[in-house]
Structure 1
């Protein structure tokens, strides 16, 4: 089981006892509907199936999903989820797509940056990741700010790329390579 810590947070693999809280975050309209509608769950049954897959994948030697529960260190209260999905394994390392989502009451307090920064450290220093990509809609300034604070580099701006909430919207794409991460850390 993977367990990471920061000054304020515990970032860890989901466990079977987290099933209810997994459903809470993945079905929460505030956390998911505005920007994560494509991965939002719409029923308890859908959540239970997905959660079973999360637990099963975490036990595999060729694990694909590294999405973790984020909780406050002092209380254990769930804030959200952060992590990455392995898209490809290459001779130089894993190519992954990262993401994060949090309950709105925790936005703007630095938790997202703290958690994502620690996941990047784990990915590059412990998990053999070579390239991290992620992105957001241009209007999602908070998400873009997390990427920037964690040292990711803007790679693309896709104008009118995605249909969202009754109109076309621009999507931003960011990346960080292992050597760029090393340069950031000095």
Structure 2
């Protein structure tokens, strides 16, 4: 089980009893406004999605690493953050990152705090080589999180995606393991053999 702590947050794998929390978060209109492709629309869909995630968590070839994000003091759910492993290469995993938080917690730096910890886990303990993510250009808050965590802009796709009744421009960001090590002053020879248990 993955369990990470920051100054204000706990990031950990979801537990079986948290299906309702998972559904409420991923069906919330404001929270999922920019993530319509993974928004949940029914309890049945939520149950199937959640059970698949729990089964994957215990598999030898785990693919989904999305963590429950909550406040340390109150144990309130803030949102979810994580990545999906899309490929395994000789240099490490290629993953696609995502995050979503309840509007009540926007503007407090929680997502940036969580992402910095998640990247540390990914590159030092989970054998990740490349992280990719992106957002619609109009979603400046999400792009700011990426920039604050050291991710590097790779592309701007003009009129790339149909969203909320119009074509919108999408930005793509990345971070490679050696780039993260350069930002964080990490000696890669000390962490090269570390893997998630």
TM-score band, normalised by shorter chain: over 0.9
Q: Report the secondary structure of 1:37's partner residue.
A: coil
Q: What is the rounded CA distance, in whole Å, between the counterparts of 2:73 and 2:167 in structure 1?
A: 42
Deviations 1:107-166 (A, max 9, x none): 110001001111111000100000000000000001000000000000000011011111
* Residue 16 (structure 2) pairs with residue 16 (structure 1): yes
Corresponding residue number in structure 2 for 1:154: 153
Pairing of 1:57-96 with structure 2 (within 5 A): 57-96=56-95
Instruction: Tell me whether 1:4 sits opposite 2:40 in the alignment.
Output: no
- Note the residue ranges of structure 1 that are not aligned, 5 or more in a row: none
Q: For the residues of structure 2 that align with 1:166 and 1:45, how far apart are their CA atoms? A: 27
Alignment of 1:125-140 (within 5 A): 125-140=124-139
Structure-2 separation of matches of 1:108 and 1:135 = 19
| C-alpha distance in structure 2 between counterparts of 1:176 and 1:74, whole Å | 31
**Displacement, 1:9?**
0.2
Q: CA deviation at 1:23?
A: 0.7
Distance in 2, Cα, partners of 1:89 & 1:9: 29
Partner of 2:123: 124
Q: What is the rounded CA distance, in whole Å, between the counterparts of 1:43 and 1:163 in structure 2?
A: 23
- Spell out, residue by residue over 1:80-133, the C-alpha distance to the aligned partner (whole angstroms, 9 max, x if none): 000000000000000000000000111110001001111111000100000000
Q: Structure 2: give runs of 5+ residues left out of the alignment.
A: 186-197
Structure-1-length-normalised TM-score: 0.98
Give 1 or 2: higher helix fraction: 1
Q: Displacement of 1:17 after TM fit?
A: 1.4
Separation (CA, whole Å) in 1 of partners of 2:5 and 2:119:
13
Deviating 4+ runs (over 2 angstroms): none
TM-score by length of 2: 0.93
RMSD after superposition: 0.5
